[in-house]
């Protein structure tokens, strides 16, 4: 499993961000974009003052999506004709006015969101779930990080473990993740941690989600800064109490053993005679880049295990080589996707033949998917 920050470093960064961030609700008629050089600056008119922020790449993507400008064309204007892009954005801001939430950090616009977006922020989330984790006997945070788009806490429970085969021990765990910038819900997902190679597999089944959807902000002001007032804190307290309950319930022995049983089954699922072909099809289906393809193939061949279990371990092991923590976590989720994929030729439960006897090789499963 890829390592990020220490828990102390994570806390320091979240505290810093809490002090540096600013959020606004603004009518788009109070917004104007002007590009100079490589930077597009968003100006926000508010109470006879003007605040200016640089749009980051995600904010550009969200503006393009909201204004229904095809992103390839948006990027072409941004690179080759920025004044045309500015005219497009500003014209549509005036033509189709609406209120948006503008989230900023360190002088950048980091998100351009609905005014119904519910701010479930990372520092508050950690404040809610860390005491719960500390209460769990055998629980340990083995990896954590905060990126531009997500927070991750990866936890294992050393007391809940099982063998997939003799000597191949896995432990139960959870992944808690959140995005403050509109890239997904607050999630609590089961994790399986393999001790032999420290691989983490995020289980697709049994995940719990909490969405960033709230009430529309009720005000007549055209633009103003948002604060974490007492009402908001009270609402968040009730919400995060539900999150705490979710964290307590996700590490469940029965669900963990179901996942272990499924892992055992994958040891009988043949991926095909050609490992290169298997990885090519996997890479095309899940849009893996060249470095990821090469890394997965290397571990697949080195593992000398041509079953689906071997492929899952190659994918999750390759995640440790990925520089970006977000992408590394996506590969851990890909391992869970492969685990959840049901063999296409499973025989009916009523058959007296072994369930895995007539399984289509994974190569054909991926090709038909």
pLDDT digits (tens, 9 = 90+) for 300-319: 999 999 999 999 999 999 99
Q: Which residue has the tokens 């209460």?
A: 135
Q: What is the token pair recorded at 18?
A: 């809490």
Question: How confident is the model at residue 44, as a pLDDT?
Answer: 95
Residue 369 to residue 327: CA distance in whole angstroms: 23
343 φ/ψ angles, rounded to the nearest 5 degrees: -55, 135
Q: Please provide the distance, in angstroms rounded to a whole number, between the alpha carbons at the two ends of the chain.
A: 28
The predicted-structure confidence for 259-288, as pLDDT tens digits, reads as follows 999 999 999 999 999 999 999 999 999 999
pLDDT of residue 367: 61
Walk along the chain (369 residues) and give the pLDDT tens digit of each residue. Answer: 999 999 999 999 999 999 999 999 999 999 999 999 889 999 999 888 899 999 999 999 999 999 999 999 999 999 999 999 999 999 999 999 999 999 999 999 999 999 999 988 899 999 999 999 999 999 999 999 999 999 999 999 999 999 999 999 999 999 999 999 999 999 999 999 999 989 999 998 888 888 887 666 555 466 667 765 554 566 677 888 888 988 988 888 999 999 999 999 999 999 999 999 999 999 999 999 999 999 999 999 999 999 999 999 999 999 999 999 999 999 999 999 999 987 644 433 333 333 344 445 666 666 655
Q: How far apart are CA 279 and CA 105, in angstroms?
A: 40
On the 0-12 / 13-18 / 19+ scale of CB atoms within 10 A, 209 is exposed
Of the candidates 268, 288, 272, the residue with the CA atom closest to the CA atom of residue 335: 288
Write down the pTM of the prediction. 0.88
Q: What is the pLDDT of residues 216-263, one digit of tens each?
A: 655 546 666 776 555 456 667 788 888 898 898 888 899 999 999 999
138 φψ region: left (φ > 0), alpha (ψ -120 to 50), beta (else): left
Are 212 and 221 contacting, i.e. CB atoms less than 8 angstroms apart?
no
CA separation for the pair 26, 42 (Å, rounded): 12
């Amino acid at each position: 499993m890829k390592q990020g920050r220490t828990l102390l470093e994570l806390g320091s960064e979240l505290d810093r961000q809490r002090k540096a961030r600013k959020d606004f609700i603004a009518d788009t008629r109070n917004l104007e974009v002007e590009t100079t050089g490589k930077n597009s600056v968003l100006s926000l008119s508010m109470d006879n003052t003007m605040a200016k922020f640089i749009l980051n790449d995600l904010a550009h993507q969200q503006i393009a999506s909201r204004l229904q400008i095809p992103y390839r064309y948006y990027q072409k204007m941004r690179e080759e004709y920025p004044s045309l892009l500015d005219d497009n954005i500003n014209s549509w801001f005036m033509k189709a006015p609406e209120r948006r939430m503008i989230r900023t950090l360190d002088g950048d616009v980091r998100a351009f969101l609905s005014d119904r977006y519910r701010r479930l922020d990372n520092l508050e989330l950690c404040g809610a779930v860390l005491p719960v984790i500390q209460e769990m006997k055998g629980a340990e945070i083995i990896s954590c990080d905060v990126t531009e788009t997500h927070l991750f806490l990866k936890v294992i429970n050393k007391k809940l473990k099982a063998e997939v085969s003799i000597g191949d021990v896995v432990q139960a765990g959870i992944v808690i993740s959140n995005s403050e910038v509109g890239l997904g819900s607050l999630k609590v997902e089961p994790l399986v941690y393999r001790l032999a190679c420290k691989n983490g597999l995020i289980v697709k089944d049994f995940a719990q989600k909490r969405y960033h959807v709230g009430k529309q902000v009720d005000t007549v002001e055209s633009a103003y800064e948002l604060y974490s007032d007492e009402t908001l804190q009270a609402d968040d307290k009730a919400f995060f109490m539900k999150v705490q309950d979710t964290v307590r319930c996700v590490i469940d022995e029965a669900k963990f053993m179901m996942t272990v049983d499924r892992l055992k089954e994958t040891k009988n699922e043949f991926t095909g005679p050609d490992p290169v072909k298997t990885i090519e099809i996997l890479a095309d289906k899940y849009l893996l880049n060249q470095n990821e393809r090469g890394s997965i193939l290397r571990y697949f061949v080195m593992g000398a295990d041509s079953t689906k279990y071997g492929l899952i371990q190659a994918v999750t092991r390759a995640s440790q080589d990925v520089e970006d923590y977000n992408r590394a976590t996506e590969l851990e989720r890909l391992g869970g996707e492969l685990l959840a994929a049901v063999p296409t030729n499973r025989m009916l439960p009523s058959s007296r033949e072994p369930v895995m006897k007539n399984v289509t090789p994974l190569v054909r499963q991926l090709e038909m998917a």
